């Protein structure tokens, strides 16, 4: 469900606790923007999109912008 997601501030805490198993960046064809998701459980757990206070799914205009954000939160 799109309503399920992890807020960026909660993601920071999960990263610090080593709770995130996998990070996935994908391109949404119909938005022509990039999205960022995380997997918290085992390899068959679903991907949970990262969201912000304003957006249901946080999007970025370029892959470079996603990378800059990832380094900003010390992934």
38-68: per-residue pLDDT in tens? Answer: 998 888 888 888 887 777 788 888 988 888 8
- Kindly state the percentage of the chain with pLDDT values over 90: 3
Residues 6+ apart with CB under 8 A from 49: 2, 4, 5, 6, 35, 36, 37, 57, 58
Higher per-residue pLDDT: 24 or 69: 24
pLDDT score recorded for residue 2: 46
CA angle (3 as vertex; 26, 62 as ends), nearest 5: 25
What average pLDDT does this structure show over 25-33? 83
Specify the pTM: 0.71
pLDDT score recorded for residue 1: 40
């Amino acid at each position: 469900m799109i309503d399920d997601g992890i807020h960026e501030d909660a993601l920071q805490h999960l990263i610090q606790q080593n709770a995130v198993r996998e990070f996935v960046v994908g391109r949404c064809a119909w938005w022509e923007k990039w999205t960022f998701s995380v997997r918290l459980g085992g390899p068959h757990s679903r991907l949970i999109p990262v969201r912000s206070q304003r957006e249901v799914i946080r999007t970025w205009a370029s892959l470079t912008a996603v990378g800059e954000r990832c380094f900003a939160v010390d992934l």
